[in-house]
Structure 1
Amino acid sequence: MRSELFASNRYVSKFRPAVMLERKLVKEPIRTMGPARVELPSPENFLKKHSKEPKLPEQTQSSKDVHKTCSFTERKPPVPRRNDKPLMGIHTKRDFLKETPELVPMKPQPACVDTSKGHKQVLENSGLVPKFITRKDFGRVPAYLQQRSEAERRAREEYENFVKAEREQRAMKHMTEEERQAILKRLKETWDKLHHEYQALPLIIDTMSQRATKDCLERQMKQLEDDIDLFERFKIIYIPNDD
């Protein structure tokens, strides 16, 4: 009595029927162990040769008709009969050889077989036959090398001319004897003039201006004396160009 009361008061979800139905839909029977009974194959239905190979579908009458209409859209002319005479004397100015150069028979390239397995090598680029010695320009200097040598020669000449001009521009000029004597004469005249001014100074110099004048005259006379001594001792004198 107590167990029946407990069973009647047990909670049951309202979604239970839906869950059971969903479980049956997903469940696949005899998936794990297989069927309980397996039907034995009949001896008459044995595995035949090439039975599992893929086969093309059989052609129907409609597919055959489509094949005929698509492949032969234009009807070819009939084969001429035995007693038919061909057309003679027809001439044309059309050059078929020039229009279709691939139809011209070409001479096969010479080659040699260098292995026992039949490996073939073209003789033209193999180096086994003379190729370059038969050319007209064989043994001559190529044109691009001649142009390069000419450009180098012109550049060398321009550089040598530039260096020569710079050397001549920087070269020292030789002073002639007449120029040396004329410069020496002018130096002595200038020294005499300054010496005359120096002797005209008073004996007692007590002002700053007189002392500065005396020092300036002494420096100029000393420089002139050195220049006169230089021109008198050396007969050959070189001077730089004014440029």
Structure 2
Amino acid sequence: MGTQCAQKSINNPLPRTEEKPVKPPRYVSIFRPSVKLEAQQNKAPCKTMGPAKVAVPSPKNFLQKHSKEPKLPARKKEDSKKLPALSVPRRTDHPVMGIKSNKNFITANAVAAITGMPKKAQPMYVDRRQGEKYLLETSGLVPKYIFKKDYGVTPKYVTRRNEEIKRAQKEYEANVSEHLKTKAMKRLSDEERKSLVQGLKKKWEEVYHEFQGLPVQIDTISKKLRKEKLELQLKQLEHDIEELEKHKVIYITNE
């Protein structure tokens, strides 16, 4: 009774049959047959895991002593007929008999010792009275480099580099002179430069005298401005005098 009342109502006068949603067909790739065929063609037994059965080594092939040590090649038999020129004589060989010499070796050795030049002693030096001996040539105490033919001669690369520097300096000066000619700049002579420096120094003394005449107490704006102006003039004059005294060559424009 309750189910019928639940099925029939104002909102739902007639019972409805439940409709199940239809699922779309599952996606199948178009490359599935080709991939399947390729996998079957490339498949081989024991391709990645190795052989199923490994041959068991024979118990007769066990590791023997000194079997892994390197072996020298077999020694060839030497021919007994081919002996070296300066070989030790054999025990069965007999010396050649009957050879005599008229040379007096005692007299010859005495004459060679008397007439021969004595052997020069090698120069050595020791570090202390009972120290070890050292070669004097390798010690650096022998002045052997000053006796060379090219000692004290300027190397060729230094001479070549100095010539290149001089040539570059001349080219730079020529370029500067051409640039100055194009700019119509005038070079100050030494007399003009000195007179200009003297005039600036005189001007500095006048401004400094005026600066010294300022009152001790500066309490107004006009006094502060005047003091700052005089200080700027003094600094500028000092800078100009220093530049003129430092640089000997000065160019000025005609503008």
TM over 0.5: no
Give the TM-score taking structure 2 as reference length.
0.29
- Return the index of the structure with the highest Cα Rg: 1
RCO higher in 1 or 2 (8 Å CA, sep ≥ 6)? 1
Give the TM-score taking structure 1 as reference length.
0.30
